[in-house]
């Protein structure tokens, strides 16, 4: 099993999802949804290439994604870590969320 690491941006994404869900529905829904996202990440730590993951090398080399309800968890395997780099809504334009590296 891999260890899990969230980038600063992924932490901000998770907090934003919590706040949006809390404001739109309620606290219980916000907790349930974000805990579901965290459980999904734990499953990825067990098997980062589990059925349902998508190769996202066109976004960045080594990136993969996995869908949880309305969100996509973008991650990469780095040594002993599954590093969550972003958590994006399925309707977001992925290309604008990962500016090209220079």
User: Could you tell me the CATH number of the domain that includes residue 80?
Assistant: 3.30.2310.20
Residue 102 lies in a domain: no
Residue 41 lies in a domain: yes
**pLDDT at res. 47:** 98
Residue 96 lies in a domain: no
The rounded percent of the chain whose pLDDT value lies above 90 is 93
* CA angle in degrees (0–180, nearest 5) for 13-69-101: 40
* Count of the separate structural domains present in the chain: 1
Say if residue 102's pLDDT is above 70. no
Residue 98 lies in a domain: no
Residue 101 lies in a domain: no
Closest CA to 86 of 10, 8, 19: 10
Structural domain that includes position 10: 3-91
Average per-residue pLDDT for the chain: 96
Using pLDDT thresholds of 50, 70 and 90, give the confidence band for residue 101. Answer: low
Residue 97 lies in a domain: no
**pLDDT at res. 95:** 86
Closest CA to 95 of 70, 69, 68, 63: 63
């Amino acid at each position: 099993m891999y260890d899990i690491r969230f980038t600063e941006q992924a932490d901000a994404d998770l907090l934003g999802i919590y706040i949006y869900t809390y404001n739109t529905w309620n606290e219980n829904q916000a907790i349930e949804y974000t805990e579901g996202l965290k459980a999904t990440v734990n499953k990825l730590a067990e098997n980062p290439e589990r059925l349902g993951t998508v190769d996202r090398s066109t976004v960045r080399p080594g990136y993969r994604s996995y869908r949880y309800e309305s969100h996509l968890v973008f991650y990469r395997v780095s040594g002993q870590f599954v590093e969550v780099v972003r958590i994006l809504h399925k309707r977001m334009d992925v290309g604008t969320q990962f500016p090209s590296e220079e």
